[in-house]
Structure 1
Amino acid sequence: MLLSLFGMNISFFNSSSPMSIGFSFIVAGLAAMNLALDFDFIERGEKAGLPKHMEWYAAFGLMVTIVWLYLEILRLLAKLRDR
């Protein structure tokens, strides 16, 4: 959206072209790696004995990543369906 304000055409991100599908795979993979990092943060925090308020921080990060991964998978499936 920001790039479209400057006149750049970025419609290939929303189409079902092979480049768009590949980009969606990359973003979904990035979200999956971030999910692994969230679980690693939770495990390390538990071992280190972090304060109680850090549990909320970790849980919020985990929920954001799960929602992000879910939306990216839905977007990828929609692009694959439109092909």
Structure 2
Amino acid sequence: MSSKEHYDVIIVGAGPAGIFTALELISKGVLKVAIIEKGKDIEKRTCYIKKLGNCLNCKVCDMLNGWGRMKEELQEV
């Protein structure tokens, strides 16, 4: 994101609240939404329980780690 780009809304943090906020804004017609995240890229996020070997492959876990269906939704815009 360069300093010359224009966004209607900039969201700081790509956790569940940031991602759901972006999706809600997009569904309401806010077209230029940027999410700024200092953590791992969304594709590189994994469930910490999976690393322990106790993963149940739950959808809630995917969403809490910033994944779920959000990647496809956000890339469409």
Say yes or no: TM over 0.5: no
The two structures have a TM-score, normalised by structure 2, of 0.36
More helix by share: 1
Give the TM-score normalised by structure 1.
0.34
> Based on CA coordinates, which of the two structures has the bigger radius of gyration?
1
Higher relative contact order (CA 8 A, sep 6+): 1
Higher strand share: 2
